[in-house]
Amino acid sequence: MTQWLLVMPIFIPLLTATACAFSFRKQSLSSVISWTGAIANLLVAILLIQTVIANGLQVTAFGDWKAPFGIVFVADLLSSSMVLITAIIGIAIVLYSTADLRSKPFYAIYHSLIHALLAGVMGSFLTGDIFNLYVFFEVMLITSFGLMVLGANKAQVDAAVKYVVLNLISTMVFLLAIGLLYGATGTLNMADLHAKVAELSDTTMMLISGLFLFGFAIKASAFPVFSWLPASYHHLPSAIVALYAALLTKVGVYALIRVFTIVFDLVDSGYQPLLIVIAGLTMLTGVLGAASQFNIKRILSFHIISQIGYMLMGFAIYTPLAITGAIFYIIHHIIVKANLFLIGGFLKRKQGSDNLRELGGAYSAMPWLALLFLIPAFSLAGFPPLSGFWGKFLVIKASLQTEEYLLAATALFVGLMTIYSMTKIWAEAFWKPLPENAPAPVTLSWQENCLYITPIAALAVITILIGFMVEPIYQLAETSAMNLLNPQPYINAVLGGDSISHTAPLSANGIAGGSH
Amino acid sequence: MNLFLLNILLAFGWMLLNGNYANTDFTIGFVVGFFALLLTEPFRNKPHYGRKFLAALKLLVVFLYKLLTSSLQVVWDVITPTHLSHPAIIKVPLAVESDLEIMLLANIVSLTPGSLTLDVSEDRKFLIVHAMFSKDEQSVIDDIKTSLERRILEVTRD
Amino acid sequence: MEFLWCLVVGLMTACGVFLMLERHIVRFLFGMILVSNAINLAIFVAGRLTRGNPPLIASDALLPAAGYANPLPQALILTAIVIGFGLLLFTLLLAYRAIKGLGTADMDKMQHAETEQ
Amino acid sequence: MSSIIFRTSAHIVTVLMLVFSVYLLLRGHNNPGGGFIAGLITVIAFALLMLAETTDYVRQRLVYSPAAFAGSGILIALLAGLLPLFFGQPFLSGLWWGKIGSPLLFDIGIYLAVIGSVLMVLLNVEEELS
Amino acid sequence: MQNPILKLWLAFCTLLPLGIFLLIGASYKPPESLFYWSWIPSLDINFSLRLDGLSVLFASLISGVGFLIQLYAVAYMKPYKGRAAFHLYLTLFMLAMLGLVLVDNLLLLFVFWELTTLTSYLLIGFNHEKEISRKNALQAMLVTGSGGLAMLAGLIMLGEMAGTYSISAIITQGASLAQHSWFTPSLLLILLGAFTKSAQFPFHFWLPGAMAAPTPVSAYLHSSTMVKAGIYLLARMLPVYGDSALWFTLLCSAGAFTALWCAIQAYRQTDLKLMLAFSTNVILGQLVMLIGIGSSYAVTAALLLIAAHSFYKAGLFMVVGNIDKATGTREYHELAGLRAVLTISFIAALVTAASKAGLPPSFGFLSKEYLYKAGLEFGWLLSGSMLLANAIMVALGLLIIIKPFLSPHHEKAAPMKAIEHNQLLWIPPIVLALLSVVVPVALLNWYQGLVIDPAAAVMLPDTQVKTVKLWEGFNLPLLLSALTLILGIVLYVVYPRLKPRLDQLMSGLPSGSGVYQCILNTVIKVANWQTRVLQHGHLTQYSLQFFIVLLAFLGTALWKIVLWQVHPLPSIELDLYYYDVILAAFLVIAAFVVVKARTLLLAVAALGTIGFLTTMVFLVYSAPDVAKTQLLVETLMVVFIAIVLRHLSAVNSVPKHSTSRRLVHACVAIGIGVSISLALWIITATPMNQEISEFYAQTSVSGGKGRNIVNVILVDFRAFDTLGEAVVVVIAGLAAVAVMAGKRINKLVSESTRENR
Amino acid sequence: MTDIMGFAINFAFAGLLAGLALAFIRLCKGPSLADRVIALDLIAFITIGFIGVFTIYSNATAFMDIAITLALVAFLSTIAFARFIMRLPQSQSDEHSDSGEKS
Amino acid sequence: MMEWIVALCLITGVLFSFFSALGILRMPDAYIRMHSSTKAGTIGVGLIMMAVALHFNDTSVISRAVGIIAFILMTAPVAAQLLGKSLLMNNYKMWRGHQQD
Ligand code: NA
Ligand code: NA
C-alpha cells in the first residue's frame, strides 16, 4: 500500500500531464483530464496523510533498493501535509485556469505543464535523496520556465530572462554543492548523510552547507538574492503566479529546512547567526519593497519575500517552537498567497488592469469578492484569529524566548507594514470609487464567475478553518518540528533501524546486498 | 531490390557491431535495418546492383593508393617551407548521372591528389573542383575522368 | 591527480562566471555552458579519478576488474548533463526570442519587466 | 544547401546512425550506451536528414509528431515503473523475463522521450527560423 | 425598509445586544467562569469567559449602549446604502469588544483586541468613497495596529514570565513578577498598546480623525467602547504592574498631559463632533491617570467616570448626529436656534452636557468629585491640571448648549428641517440622559454593589473601597468643583477672544497627525529608495550581486581554512601523466578563448573544442558513457547555437561594461573559481567512502542484470532520477518550443507535418 | 606493454596533442569562419585518433564506441557550420557579420 | 611482429594527423587547408584505427575500427565539399599561389 501511496503523488500528475499533452486539440477533454488528475491527486494526498498519521512515517525504496543504495521517498508528517496542500492548490489553480485561460491558445499545454510542476513540487517534498531533490528541483524549474513563456509578450519575455538567468545560478550552485557533498561523504541519501556529515571537519561542513544555503536562499528568494522574484512574477497570468507564489519559494524553504536539519545541523553548520540576519533583512526589504509598489501583483510579490523572511526567521531560531511557527507559516502562506493572487487576477480580468491607480469600486460592485478578499488579506496581515496570526505569533514568541529582540521587533514592524499594504489594496481597489477614465468592468457569464469564485472561496474557507482549527495544525507542525530537530527516528526508518546492512562488508561474489 | 540488399548489408553490419554472429542477431539487425530504411528511404531513384564486385574492388584499391599518395603530397607541401601549389578552380564535365554516382565521384575526387570537390553545378553537368597543382587544367580533368569516373561507371552501370 | 583537475574546474568556473556577467545574452549562455561543464567535471573529480578502468563487468565475470572507476558520479553526471542540456536549450531559445522580441541582446537594456506601467 | 553529394551521403549516414543508435539502446545495459545516448544519436541522425532535406521530409518519415514520441516515451517509462507495483514490488523495481526486463522497457521510454523532445525543438527551430 | 430580509436583519442586530445585556444581567454571579472551552491547549489559549466586576461594567456598557446605538443607527443610517453591512460591522465590533472584556486569556484578549481594530477600520472607512475616510481609517488602523503589535510582544513576555496566559492566574501571581527581567519591557510594551488604543498623547490624533465615520460609530466606538479597551486592559493589569513606580509615573504623566492637551485642543475646535472627540481624549487621559494612581479613591473615580462618560458622551454624539441630520452641518458658527426643531434632543443635550460639565446631581459630577479626591491625595499638580481640563469641559458643555440651541435663528445660520418625527433618533439620547441622572441619584448603592465593589476587588485585591455618596458635605473636592464651574464659565465667556489667540499660539506646533504623516511618508520614501537600490532592473547587476554573495559564502569558510589554519591544507599529490597536463592546459586555454573571443562564432568553436576536450577527460578517467553523452550533447548544443546565431547577425552590437566594472567581474570570477578549486581540493584530498559504489558493482549483475554498472544505475538503482531527467528533457522541449512559438504553440507542438494542417 | 608499444603510444599522445594545439591555433586565428570550422573538424579527427590510442593504452575496448559516436556527430556539427556560413548574407570573414560585442 | 606493425601504423597515423594539423595552420588559404585536413586527416585517423584493429585482433573491435574508417571516408569529403561550396557562395578570395595569370 505504501508502495502505491508514495509514488502516486508523482505518478498521477505526470500521467495527467502526458494525457493532457495527448489531448491537445480538445480543450474540454484536456480540462476534464486535468480536473480528474487534480482530484485524484487530492484523494491520494488525503490518503497519504491519513496513513502517516495512523501508522507513522512511510518509506518506499524505488526499485526495491534500500537506502542508501537506491532512491527513497519518505512521507513524514511534514512532507505529507505539504503534499496535501500542494494538491489543494493544484485543484484551485486548475479550476481557476479553466475560467481565466481557456481562451488562450496555449491552454492544453498549460495544463500539461501545471501538472508537471505539481509533480516536481511533490517530488521535492517527498524525496529522501539529495540528488533526487536536485532532479525534482529541475523538473520544477524547467516547468516554471515553460509556464512563464507561454504566449509571452515583450515584458513577459524580459521577465523570463531575468527569472531564468538568476535561477540558473542557484541551480548550478546547488548541483555543485551536491557534488562536493557526495565527494566528502560518499552518499546521497539524506538520512545516511546525517551521520557522515557529522564526521566532516567544521570548515568542510561550513563550505558545503554554505553552498546549499546560497542555492536554497535564491530559491526561497531570501535577502539579498531575491531580485528574480519581483523582477518577473508580476508579468505572469494570475493562475500561474498564484501557483508559483504558493509553491516555488516554499519548496526552497522546505528544502532548506530539510537539509539543514537532517543532513546538516543548522547550529553545527555555523550559519545560524547569518540566517537570523538574513531572515530579518528578508522580511524588511520585502515589506518595504511592497510599500513602494502600486501594482497588486507587485505588492503581493514583494510580500512573498517578506513572508519568506518569517519562515526563515522561525527556522533560524531553531527551537521547536520556532520551527513549529515556520511550518505553520508555510502552510498558511501557501493557501493565502495563492488566493490573493487569484483575486488580483479576477480583478484584472474584470477591470483589465492590476494597477491600483486604475482600479476601484470593487467593494460596491462585488461585495462578496470584497469579503473574500478581506479574509486572505487580513490573514496575511496577521490579524487574529485568521491563519496568518498564529504563525507570526509563534515565531515572535520563539524569538522572544531566545532573546532575539531585534528580530522580534523587525517581525512586528513588518507585520505593521503588511497591514499597510493590504489596506492599501483594500482601500484602492475596493473602497475607492472607480476612476472616471477607467473602462467599464467586463461582465462574465455565471459559469465563469463560478469557476473564478469557487477556488477563491474554497481557499478563503480553508484560511478560516486553519485559523480556527489551530490545535490540530499546531500539533502537526509541532510534531514535524520535533521530528526535524530529532531526526533519529526518521533516519532509522529510512535506513532500516540500527542494523544497517551496508556498513557490513559485502561478500565478494556480489550476490549479497541490501535489496530484494 | 537494392533496398533489400542494403537491408541485408545492414543486418551484417549489425552483427559486426555486436561482434556476435547468431541467427537472432541477424534477425534483430535485419528488423532494425528495415525500420531504419523505412524511416529514411535513402534512394529514390534506384541504381542497379549487379555483380560488380571486381570493379568495386579495383576502384577501392585505386582509391586507397591515390589517397595515400595524395596525403603524402599534401604532407610534403606542408613540411617544405615554400608553398608549392598552383591552385585553381576547375569545372569538370560529368558523365555520371545518378545521385550515388555523383556522390561517389565527388568524394573520391576530394580524397585524391590535388583536387577537392567544391560543388556540383545546378544542372548536374559539372563538378566544380579546387585543384592544388593545376599547371594544366585539362590534365587534371582528364585524370579525374579516366582514372576515377570510368571506374565508377564500371561499378555502377551494366 | 585530482589537484590538477580541481584547478581546471576552478579556472573554467572563473571564465564561465566572468562571461555570465557580461551584457550580451549569448555570452551569458556561453558562460553558463562553461560553468555547467565545470560543475560536471567537479562532480566527476569529487567522486575521485581512476585512469583507464571503466566500471564495466566482463561477460564472464560477476564483478568489474579491481580498481574500477566509481560508477555513481558517472551516473550523476549523465543525469546532470542531460538536465543541463534541457536548460541550456531552453535558455538559448529564450535568448533568441529576447533578442528578436526586445530588439537588443544587451541584458541591461532589457527593462520592460520592471518599469511601472 | 541542396547539394546532391550531401543529400545522397546523408541518407546513407542517417541509416547507419539509426542502426547504431538502436544497437546502443539495446546493448546499453551491458556496454556503454542506453536510452539517452541512443536517443541523442537518433536525433543527430534526423538532424542530418533535416539539413540535407527539409523538415517536412523528416516529419513525414517520422509519421507521428515528435511530441507524440516524447509523450509515449514518458508514458512507457512511467508504465515500466508501475508494472512491478502489480507484482507487489515497489515502483521501478526490475522485473525480468529472461533477457527482457522492465528496465529495458524503461530505457526504451527514455529513448523515445529524448528523441521526441529534442526533435520537436530542432524541427520547430528550423521551421521558425527559416 | 421594504426589504423584509433587511428588516429582519436590522431587528436581529438591534435585539442581539439587548439579549446579551439581559443575559449578562441574569448570569452575573461574580467571580465565576461563565464558560470554558479548550481551544488551543498547546498554546495555552483557552476560550474561558469570566464575568467579574470589571467585566460586567464594561460588558453591560458595551451591550447596553450598543443596543441604544443600534436603535439609533437604524434611524440614522436610513438614507445610506450598504446599511446592512454597516449593522454587520457594528455587531461584529460589539461582539469583539464583548469578547475582549470577557475572556480570561491574554492571547485571546489580544485576538479580540485586533478584531476591534479590524472592525473599527471597516466602520471608520464606511464612507469609503471619500478619500478622507479611507485615510483616517488607515491612520486609526496603523496607530492602534502598531500599538497592538507592540502589546503582543508585551503580552507574550507577560505570559512567559507568569508561565500561563490565563489572566486570573497571572493576577494571582501579582507583584511576584516584578523580579523578572522582562517586567519593565513587558510593562512598556503593554502600555504602548493601551495608550495607542486609548488615544493617549502622542497617539491621540487618530481618535478625532476617526470622526470621519458615521455618527453612530463615533458615538459607540469612540466614546464608550473601543477607546475604553485600553482602559480595560490597564485596569486589568493594575494588580500586576500597579506597584511599580514606572507604572505610576508613566500613567499619571501621560494621562494628565493628554487630558490637558486635548482639553485645549477640544476648546479650539469649531466642529461640534471634533469638540466631543477631543473631550473624549480628555476623559481617557483622566482615566489613565486614575488607574495610574491606583488608590482606592482613584479606582472608585475611574469606575464612576467610565460609566458616566459612556452615558453622556454617547448621548451627546447622538445629539450632534441629529444636529447634523437636521442642518447638514456641525460647524459651531453655522448653528443657531436648534431648539425649535430638535426639542427633545435639546433636553437630552442639556442633561448630558450637564453631566459632562460635572453639574450636580449628574453622574459626571459624582465622578468628578472622586477624581478630585483621588488627585488630592497626590498633591496639587494633578488636581490642578484636572481642574483646568474639567473647566474646559464646562466651557464645552456651555458652547454646545447655548449658541446652537438657545440663540435665535438668523439668516446666516444653516437651514433646519424637522427630523424628530422619527422616534428612534431621540429615544436613545433621552434614555442616556436619563441614565446620567438616575444612576447617581437613585441607583448609587446598587451600582456600588454591582460594579464598584467587585471591580475594585479585582483591581485592588487588598484594599477596602469606601462607599460612594453623592453628597458628602462641604469639602475640598466640592470646592474644587465649584472652582471648576466658575473657571469654565469664564472660559466660555472669553471663548470668542481666546480662541483666535490660542490658534495663533498653537499653529506652529507640530500636530500628531502631521508627525504620523511625516513618519509614514519617510517610511514610504525609504521603501522607494530601497527598492530603487535593490530592484533596479539591471540584470547583470543582479547577477553580480548574486555572485558576490556566493563569493562571500565561499570566502568566509575558506578564509577560516587558509588564514586561520583551522583545517591543514592537504599536500599536493601529483600522480600525473603529461597528457593530463596538456589536456588540462588546453581546456583552460579554450575557456580563456571563449572569454576573449571577439566574435560569437569563435566562442562557439572554442566551446566545441571544450566539448571534445572534456570528452577526452572523461575518456581518460574511465567514463565512457559520460564521454559519449557529453559529446552528443555538446554537439547538439553547438548545432542549435549555429542554427540560432545565423538569425541573430542583424542584431546591434552590445556595448561592454566599463573597464573598472569588468575588473570587479574578473575579481569576483577568479575569487569564486579559486574558492571552488580549494574546496574541491580539500574534499578530494581525504579518502573516499565508496561503499555505495561497491554495492552497485557487486549487485549489478545479480540484481540489475546488467554489466554496464553506470547504465544499471541509470535504469535500475537510481532509475527514478532518470525518469525525472526524461521529464525535464521533454518539458524543456515543450518550453523551448513555447518560447519560440508564442501564440502558435499548440499547432507547433502537435503537428506531424506542415502541409497536413 | 613492451618498449616499442610504450614508445609508440607516448609518441602518439604527444603527436596528437601537438596536432591539437596547432589546429586550435588555427581555430583561434580564423580569419574566416570556414577556417575555424576546418580546424574544429580536424580537432574532432584528432580526438578520434586520441580515443583510438587511449583504447590501446587502457585495453578497454568499450572506448571504441566513443570514437564511432564522435565520427558520427562531428560530421553533423561541421555540416551545421557550413550551412551557417552559407546562409550568412555578405562577407567571407566573420569579423563583420558577427553579433559580437564592441568595446 | 604484430606489435611492430601496430606501432608503425600508430606512428605514421599520428604523423599524418600532426602534419594535417600543421597544414591547416601553415597553408595559405581555406581551400588548401581543406586539402590538408581532409586527406591527411582521413588517412591519419584511418591508420590509427587500423592500429587499434590490429592490436586487439577481436571481431568487435575490428568491426568498429572498420566502421569508423568507412564512415570517415564517407563523411570527410562531404563535409569538405559543403564547406567549399559555402566558400564559393561567399566569393571567398582564393590564394592564387605562384601562378602568373
Ligand atoms: Na531492482
Ligand atoms: Na548507459
Phi-psi region of A510 (alpha: psi -120 to 50; beta: other; left: phi over 0): left
Q: Taking residues A481-507, what's their average pLDDT? A: 70
Instruction: Tell me what the mean pLDDT of segment E595-602 comes to.
Output: 88
- Same domain, yes or no, for E294 and E157? no
Asked if F68's CB is within 8 angstroms of G71's CB, the reply is yes
* Mutation target vs A (from C19, C39, C92; most A CBs, 10 A cutoff): C39
Task: Find which of A193-207, A449-463, B98-112, G35-49 is predicted with most confidence, using mean pLDDT.
Answer: A449-463
Partners of residue D93 in chain A, C-beta under 8 Å: 62-64
Mark whether E281 and E220 lie in a shared domain: no
**Mean pLDDT estimate for chain G:** 86
Whole-angstrom distance, CA of residue C31 vs CA of residue E129? 55
C-chain CB neighbours of F52 within 8 Å are: none
- What distance in Å separates residue C101's CA from the closest CA in chain A? 6
Question: Pick the residue with more confidence: E269 or B50?
Answer: E269
Residue E627's pLDDT band (cuts 50, 70, 90): very high
pLDDT digits (tens, 9 = 90+) for B65-94: 888 887 888 788 888 887 777 788 888 888
Q: Using the beta-carbon criterion (under 8 Å), do G85 and B106 form an inter-chain contact?
A: no
Beta bridge partners of A442: none
Phi, psi of E35 (to 5 degrees): -160, 140
With 50 as the cut, is the pLDDT of residue A91 above it?
yes
- Name the residue among A142, A149, A157 with its Cβ closest to that of C87: A142
pLDDT value, residue F103? 36
Let me know if residue E249 belongs to a domain. Answer: yes
**Which pLDDT score is estimated for B41?**
62
Judgement on whether residues E391 and E449 belong to the same structural domain of the protein? yes
pLDDT band at B43 (very low <50, low <70, confident <90, very high): low
Using a CB-CB distance cutoff of 8 angstroms, which residues of chain F are in contact with residue D45?
72
**CA distance linking residue G101 with residue G98, whole number of Å:** 9
Give the pLDDT band of residue E443 (cuts 50, 70, 90): confident
Q: Across the strands, what pairs with E50?
A: E33
Same domain for E209 and E350, yes or no, is no
Examine residue E191 and state whether it is found in any structural domain, yes or no.
yes
- Give B46's pLDDT tier (boundaries 50, 70, 90): very low
Rounded distance between C-alpha atoms, residue A250 and residue A238, angstroms: 18
Label residue A303 exposed, middle or buried (CB < 10 Å: 0-12, 13-18, 19+): buried
Least confident of C7-11, E251-255, G81-85: G81-85
Average pLDDT of the segment spanning A78-102? 92
For residues E195 and E249, state if they share a domain.
no
Range of the domain at E73: 1-242
Phi, psi of D92 (to 5 degrees): 70, 15
**pTM (2 d.p.):** 0.93
Residue G101's pLDDT band (boundaries 50, 70, 90)? very low
* Within-domain flag for E521: no
Verify whether the Cβ–Cβ distance G92 to F32 is below 8 Å: yes
For the ranges A179-188, E177-186, E668-677, which has the lowest average pLDDT?
E177-186
What's the pLDDT at A504? 34
What's the confidence (pLDDT) of residue A455? 95
Closest residue in A to E155 (Cα–Cα): A397
Biggest CA pair distance of chain B: 59
Mean pLDDT taken over chain A: 91
Among E461, E493, E525, residue at a domain's last position? E493
Cβ neighbourhood burial of A505 (10 Å; 0-12, 13-18, 19+)? exposed
Find, in chain D, the residue whose alpha carbon is nearest to that of F83. Answer: D1
pLDDT at F78 over 80: yes
User: Any residues with CB less than 8 A from the CB of A44 and at least 6 apart, and which?
Assistant: A5, A8, A9, A12, A87
Ion ligand 1: residues, CB < 5 A:
A 63-64; D 93-94
Percent of chain F with pLDDT over 70: 83
Answer yes or no: do E237 and E251 share one domain: no
The chain G residue lying nearest D5, using CA atoms, is G78
Cis peptide before E428 (omega within 30 of 0): no
8 Å CB contact of B42 and D18: no
Name which of A313, A341, A340 is nearest A328 in CA terms: A313
Average pLDDT over residues A315-343: 95
Residues E458, E409, single domain; the answer is: yes
Which residue, E648, E666, E699, sits at the end of a domain?
E699
Say what percent of chain E tops pLDDT 90: 55
A43-52, E26-35, E364-373: least confident range: E26-35
Ligand 2 center to residue G62 CA distance, Å? 22
- Using a CB-CB cut-off of 8 Å, the residues of chain F touching C54 are 60, 62-63
Least reliable range by pLDDT among B13-22, B146-155, E446-455, F43-52: B13-22
Q: Could you say which of D6, D33, D51 has the minimum Cβ distance to residue F65?
A: D33
Look up residue A167 and give its three cell numbers.
535561477
Whether residues E201 and E320 fall in one domain: no
User: Is the model's pLDDT at G36 over the cut of 70?
Assistant: yes
Does E516 reside within a domain? no
User: Same structural domain for residues E255 and E228?
Assistant: no
Q: Please tell me the distance between residue B36's alpha carbon and the centre of ligand 2 in angstroms.
A: 22
pLDDT at D89 over 70: yes
pLDDT of residue A59: 93
pLDDT at B102: 87
Measured distance CA(B15)–CA(B22) in Å, rounded: 8
Residue E708 lies in a domain: no
CA-closest candidate to residue F62, choices E625, E46, B3? E625
3-state helix, strand, coil in chain C (%, to 5): 65, 5, 30
Which sign, positive or negative, has the C-alpha torsion E737, E741, E746, E749?
negative
Q: Choose among A51, C24, D61, C75: nearest CA to E652.
A: C24
pLDDT of residue E250: 94
The pair phi, psi for residue E32, each rounded to 5°, is -115, 155
Give the pLDDT of residue A348.
Answer: 92
Identify the CA nearest to A88 among candidates A126, A19, A41, A34.
A41
Mean pLDDT over E613-639 rounds to: 92
- Within 8 A of F2 by CB-CB distance, chain G residues are 3
Q: Tell me the count of A-C CB pairs closer than 8 A.
A: 105
> What pLDDT, on a 0 to 100 scale, did the predictor assign at position B50?
38
Give the per-residue pLDDT at E382: 83
Q: What pLDDT, on the 0 to 100 scale, is given for residue C113? A: 80
D9 at interface of B, judged by CB pairs closer than 8 A: yes
Contacts of F16 (CB under 8 A, 6+ apart): F46, F49, F50, F53, G14, G17, G18
Mean pLDDT of E664-687: 93
C-alpha grid cell, residue E215: 455618527
pLDDT (average), residues E108-121: 94
Using the mean position of ligand 2's atoms as its centre, give its distance from the Cα of residue D35 in Å.
Answer: 7
Chains B and E touch (3+ CB pairs under 8 A): no
E363 found inside a domain: yes
pLDDT band for position A513 (cuts 50, 70, 90): very low
E145 and E17 in one domain?
Answer: yes
Query: Tens of pLDDT along A139-161?
Result: 999 999 999 998 888 889 999 99
What pLDDT shows up at residue C68?
92
* Sequence-ordered list of residues with C-beta below 8 angstroms from that of A385, at least 6 positions apart, any chain: A467, A468, A470, E111, E115
- The number of distinct structural domains making up chain E is 3
Average pLDDT of the segment spanning A169-196: 95
Among candidates E606, G30, E633, which has minimal Cα distance to F43? E606
**In the predicted model, is pLDDT for residue F42 greater than 90?**
yes
Give the model's pLDDT for residue D28: 78
Position B51 pLDDT exceeds 80:
no
Average pLDDT of span A93-112: 85
Quote the CA–CA distance of D25 and D107 in Å, as a whole number: 8
Nearest to F64 by CA among D112, G53, E161: G53
- D36 to chain C: which residues are within 8 Å by CB? 78, 82
The minimal CB distance from C94 to the residues A160, A184, A230 is found for A160
More confident residue, E742 or D40: D40
Task: Count contacts between D and E (CB, < 8 Å).
Answer: 160
User: F65–D32: do the CB atoms touch at under 8 Å?
Assistant: yes
Over the Cα atoms of chain G, what is R_g?
17
The answer to the question of residue E738 being in a domain is no
Query: Given this model, what pLDDT does residue E742 score?
Result: 64
Confidence grade of residue G70 (pLDDT, cut at 50, 70, 90): confident
Q: What angle do CA B147, B152, B154 make, to 5 degrees?
A: 100
Same domain, E231 and E292: no
Sign of CA dihedral A404, A406, A410, A416: positive
Tally of CB atoms within 10 A around E536:
16
**Are B110 and B144 within 8 A, CB to CB?**
no
Looking at E471, E493, E515, which one is the last position of a domain?
E493
Segment A425-468, tens digit of pLDDT:
999 999 999 998 888 888 989 888 999 999 999 999 999 999 99
- pLDDT, position A503: 34
Whether residue E736 lies inside any domain: the answer is: no
Rounded to an integer, the average pLDDT of E273-302 is: 92
Instruction: Provide the pLDDT confidence category of residue D129 given band limits of 50, 70 and 90.
Output: confident
Instruction: Please tell me the number of Cα atoms within 13 Å of C5 on its side-chain side.
Output: 30
**Cα atoms found within 13 Å of the Cα of residue B36, Cβ hemisphere only:** 32
Judge: G75–D12 Cβ closer than 8 Å, yes or no.
no
Task: Tell me if there are at least 3 CB pairs under 8 Å linking chains E and D.
Answer: yes
In chain C, the N- to C-terminal Cα span, in Å, equals 57
Contact E720 A136 (CB under 8 A): no
Burial class (CB in 10 A: 0-12, 13-18, 19+), E57: buried
Same domain, E339 and E223: no
Which of D1, D8, D9 is the mutation pick for testing G, counting most G CBs within 10 A? D9
Q: What is the mean pLDDT of chain E?
A: 89
Q: What is the ipTM score, two decimals?
A: 0.93
Q: Does the pLDDT value for residue B49 go beyond 80?
A: no
